[in-house]
Chain A
Amino acid sequence: DVKVTQSSRYLVKRTGEKVFLECVQDMDHENMFWYRQDPGLGLRLIYFSYDVKMKEKGDIPEGYSVSREKKERFSLILESASTNQTSMYLCASSLREEQYFGPGTRLTVT
């Protein structure tokens, strides 16, 4: 079974803080993704990566950056958290088209 884990289920941060969300997959997948999910807007792609040290912008990259130093780990960074970044963050990995998701991190920025 593919396992995708995320560092926290719930996180509360203050406006202006730097936030790190970590994602780890154990299936040697090339592709990893970060989404945010908001009511009425569905899943929106923030960034993705096809390989170590490679990253591509998704649909809503503003205010976020990513890091992929090892194949199994993909980190999402909020350089200066803002209240409009309060959301559910989902990480996924894939070998081909089927994506396997982690359990999500519910981030609240106050």
Chain B
Amino acid sequence: RKEVEQDPGPFNVPEGATVAFNCTYSNSASQSFFWYRQDCRKEPKLLMSVYSSGNEDGRFTAQLNRASQYISLLIRDSKLSDSATYLCVVNYNAGNMLTFGGGTRLMVKP
């Protein structure tokens, strides 16, 4: 079983739609959580951290459910520029090593 699992997609949505991705992790001792974004043929970049209380950054909302060991990312009012692969990332050991999920591909269509 993978340590961080994501539905690879692709999720095909029209502009303006709301889309949500989930990610599950296997290690209950996980310390911190992130979403990274990776555009086609580009490097991953941090999108947002995920806090226990949930957090929002504009159209993006991230939530953490420790009891069920999953993380979610909600994107409201999707834009064409949101098309990318979204990587769920977990830090297990409170050090600086991150474990990456395989990514969920989002395609926003006009």
Contact = CB atoms under 8 A, between A and B. Distances in A.
Interface residues of A, number: 21
Contacts of A99: 44, 46, 96, 98
B97 interface: yes
Interface residues of B, number: 18
Interface stretch (A14-22, A75-83, A90-98): A90-98
Interface string B55-92: 00000000000000000000000000000000100010
Q: Which interface residue of B32, B96, B98 has the most chain A CB atoms within 10 A?
A: B96
Given A98-B46, A101-B45, A103-B43, A43 B87 contact: yes
Interface of A: 31, 33, 35, 40-43, 45, 48, 50, 58, 90, 94, 96-99, 101-104
Interface of B: 8, 32, 34, 42-46, 87, 91, 96-103
